Amino acid sequence: MWFKFLLYFGLASLISGEKSFTVVLDTTKSMQEEIVTIKVNLQSIVNLSDSGISNYILVPFNDPDVGTPIIVPTLPQFLSAVNAITVSGGHRCPENSLAGIEKALQISKPQSTIFMFTDAYAKDVSKLLSVENLCRSTRSQVIIFLTGFCSPELSPGVTDQVYYDVAKACSGSVLLLDTASLRLAFSFMKEVINETWTDIITYDTFTENKQLTFSVDSFTKTWLLVVSGDNPRVELTIPNTNQTVDKILDMRNTNVLRLSEPSAGEYTISVRCRNKTAVTLYKRFELPLRFGFSSKTPRSMNETSSLPMPGRSNKILVDASQSKMKLETIHLQVTNELEKKVLQFEEQPSGLYLAEAFVGSDQEFRLWIKGYDLDSLKEIVVSSQNFVPQQVAVTGTTWIKPQSQILDTETKTIDFGFNTTFACKVTGYPAPNVTWVNDEGEILSSETILLEVPSLYLSYVTIENVTVNSTIYCISKNSEGEDSQSINLYVHRPYTFEVLQTPQDQTIEYGGEGKLFCEVSAYPVAETKWYHNDTIVTSSDEIQVDLETNALWIKNMSVNTYGAYKCELKNEINEKIYTAFVNISGIEAPQVAVDTANVVLKLGEWSYLECRIMKGKPSPIITWTFKSEDGYEFSSLPDGVVADGGKLKIATAQPNHKGVYRCEANNVEGHHSVDITVQLQYPPMISNGDLHTLTVKEEDDVELPCQVDASPQATVRWEMSQDDVIISLDGRHRTDYRYTHRFKALWKDSGNYHCIAENSIGRAEKTITVNVLVAPYIEAPKEKTVLATTGGNLVLTCNVLFGNPVPSTKWEFIATDSSTKILLRANSSSLLHLNNVNYKNEGSYLCIANNSVGTDSINIYVKI
């Protein structure tokens, strides 16, 4: 194990002991420069640490003896004594330095800090055991400043190890310094004496490299790390890299580091050194524990004193509510005794712990608390300050008028029939007479105890079986006057909510009666509400709520009263809901029938369709729906059809009335339906919209619609006529299943197209005139050159075979000299007559046919 863990907790807020400021000083001649440095720097250190110091001690030692200690009560006297020190002797090394430490421990007050300054090793090693025992009994700390060493040649076998042993036993440190850097050591002294270090770990010395780890919990407020050796190199790994570590000392042989408000976690120290190295870790904890004492069991810290009452048993209240500490043991240790007495304790609410111990007169003691941190689960041992019992003998006390305070809240509520206790804290001298009175002037039985000598009292009153609201008064009187305080006491009657009856599922015959019960005994009185199918119940001819018993009366069981019932019981503090289902008996599912399932009507006829109820109780409700002939789902009735219960009236049969009519009967027990199919007979009807004439061009795709509606289904065909003559249709003409006639238009397709639909009821015909626009076409001449004899006659033919619209024609003459002349204009085909021809008639004769679609021409050359 590399270190000795000296656990020495003290509560900074509770420690109130006197201490000594002690310096053990080597006054040999070799210390001349060091003593000058001490004289210059010591005053600033002591000024910062004068709080709690009752005396100042200087212990000089030389070779071979320890000088007479100087003990003075004030700082100026102490500084005068230090300044008066002179050096002498010291021709040998080592010296009797442990004797100086021993003397300082013997004459210093407990828990003091002792600083030793020397440049030599210890010769009197035999005193180590005595020094260690004194450190343990006084709980004082020893810090050694070593500015030199003893030569191995002149002092063989003598080392500085004994100083490290002292530091380990006395919760201290050894700092290796040279004369020039000694002044810097006073910064370290400030750190040590200006903090109340609650945990000091002095590790065993080591050489070369070493890695040490220590934990920091949420109670740690600061830590100080001292590393001293031969040129040590320190690396520190901390859990929170945002924190800044202060370097108090950074010298060749000594490093001192400090971190305030450290983050909780694991810290690692890596030390590299040449020879022996020492490490000391100081921690300061703040543990928010409070202690209180009373001769009567206290309910809170307000009912305790900070000092125990002597000569009697004391209740000890430990308040850990402001910490994260769980208590495991409480020990009581009387001053100057080694034995620690175990105290039994009870854990109270809100982080309080209650123990009990007898406290003798003038018996000082401290309490040791052992527990663990609730976050880290690390074990914690806490020592309180010394408790000194109150002094019973009191003289010269000022007489004061009583002042009282009721420790409870201004208003207190207590359950009906329960007991309650109040405490009244009273200050007054001489001892006041404390009485408790209710608002009717009755004096209540009470108990008053002395809490703190000579004038602080606690008075308790217990009121049993509280049943009414009242005001309670605490009245205190003595010869100096009177005081009165009051508190209002309100009674809370326990609420009750006992359900006596709940509604049950039941079956009631159709038309019969029945009751549902829902009863509660409650305070405050509960309200009862009934719901039927989630609708609040109101009185009617069929159902009624009995206002006295809150029972639900079903007077006439029907489909209206069938279903789920809910009873809601509710007051200010509670609410219950119960449900029941009421079935109905004596009913049967419906059944309906029709005389015929198929009805055939002619257009314009009227008809009644009847659906008869064959059975059903309660009486079924009839509904009619309709699905068209090409429909998929049933929906509402078409226009012109009216339902009246089980009858359906079709006043004037129309095509949209064709389809399936469904009669459905429903009641609470089920449903049944039958279908009636209505067929309608009427002659064909053709609807082509406004299409009567269609003009197209040759090669256009022609579509002639013919939408036929007929019942029974009609036979449909297409015919084509030109000038009232029926023309046969060739293979180009096709008619699809929707009766649409299709073809690609040619010059000969103009005409009237007739869609003819016929069934057994009648016939319908629709005509569409198709006009095919065609460019003119002239029959080619038999001869392109015609010979004529002078004086003879000649007839030229221009035969236009087709063209729509009818083309116009003209003959144009082109003479041999290229002159042109229009000879004749006509419609359609034409003949050109040339009489008594001569050489002037020789030339080209051009027949040109033209319409809105195109032009055609032929050329005949006449040779004379």
Nearest partner of 461 among 422, 503, 510, 502, judged by Cα: 422
For residue 334 the two structure tokens come to 């009387």
- Chain centre to alpha carbon of residue 761: 79
Please give the DSSP secondary-structure letter assigned to residue 783: -
218-232, 344-358, 780-794 — most confident range:
344-358
Section 651-667 average pLDDT: 91
Number of H helices and E strands in the chain, helices first, is 6, 67
Residues present in the chain in total = 864
Helix axes 97-107, 161-169, angle to 10 degrees: 10
The DSSP string of 102-141 is HHHHHHSPTT-EEEEEESS-BS-GGGHHHHHHHHHHH--E
Does the pLDDT at position 13 exceed 60? no
Give residue for tokens 């084509």.
Answer: 720
Q: Burial of 117 by CB count in 10 Å (0-12 exposed, 13-18 middle, 19+ buried)? A: buried
pLDDT digits (tens, 9 = 90+) for 47-95: 554 457 889 999 999 888 899 999 999 888 999 999 999 998 876 788 8
For residue 517 the two structure tokens come to 């019960």
pLDDT digits (tens, 9 = 90+) for 696-713: 988 899 999 999 988 888
CA distance 312 to 318: 19
pLDDT digits (tens, 9 = 90+) for 518-529: 999 888 889 999
For residue 619 the two structure tokens come to 């009486």
Question: Cα dihedral angle (618, 624, 629, 633), rounded to 10 degrees?
Answer: -70
Q: Are 485 and 405 in contact (CB under 8 A)?
A: yes
What pLDDT, on a 0 to 100 scale, did the predictor assign at position 396? 67
CA distance 382 to 14: 11
CA distance 11 to 482: 40
pLDDT digits (tens, 9 = 90+) for 361-385: 878 888 988 998 888 888 887 777 7
Section 734-744 average pLDDT: 92
In the chain, the amino acid numbered 302 is N
What pLDDT, on a 0 to 100 scale, did the predictor assign at position 548? 85
Nearest partner of 290 among 351, 333, 334, 346, judged by Cα: 351
pLDDT digits (tens, 9 = 90+) for 580-619: 999 988 888 999 999 899 999 888 888 989 999 999 888 8
Section 230-243 average pLDDT: 87
Nearest partner of 151 among 74, 218, 94, judged by Cα: 94
In the chain, the amino acid numbered 402 is P
What pLDDT, on a 0 to 100 scale, did the predictor assign at position 2? 30
What pLDDT, on a 0 to 100 scale, did the predictor assign at position 49? 47
Section 246-255 average pLDDT: 88
Q: Strands 808-815, 820-827: parallel, antiparallel or unpaired by DSSP?
A: antiparallel
All structural domains of the chain: 3-10+19-285 (3.40.50.410), 290-383 (2.60.40), 400-492 (2.60.40.10), 496-585 (2.60.40.10), 592-674 (2.60.40.10), 688-774 (2.60.40.10), 779-863 (2.60.40.10)
CA distance 654 to 639: 10
Section 380-400 average pLDDT: 77
Section 453-465 average pLDDT: 93
CA distance 211 to 216: 17
Section 113-124 average pLDDT: 91
What pLDDT, on a 0 to 100 scale, did the predictor assign at position 603? 85
Q: What percent of the chain has pLDDT over 90?
A: 46
What pLDDT, on a 0 to 100 scale, did the predictor assign at position 46? 58
Does the pLDDT at position 413 exceed 80? yes
For residue 178 the two structure tokens come to 């040279």
> Which has the minimum average pLDDT: 118-122, 336-340, 369-373, 660-664?
336-340
Nearest partner of 209 among 189, 192, 227, 190, judged by Cα: 227
Q: Are 227 and 299 in contact (CB under 8 A)?
A: no
Section 480-491 average pLDDT: 94
pLDDT digits (tens, 9 = 90+) for 507-555: 999 889 999 999 998 888 899 999 999 999 998 888 999 888 889 999 9
* Average pLDDT value over all residues in the chain: 88
CA distance 837 to 25: 171
Does the pLDDT at position 42 exceed 70? yes
Please give the DSSP secondary-structure letter assigned to residue 101: H
- Residues sharing a CB contact under 8 Å with residue 349, sequence separation 6 or more, in sequence order: none
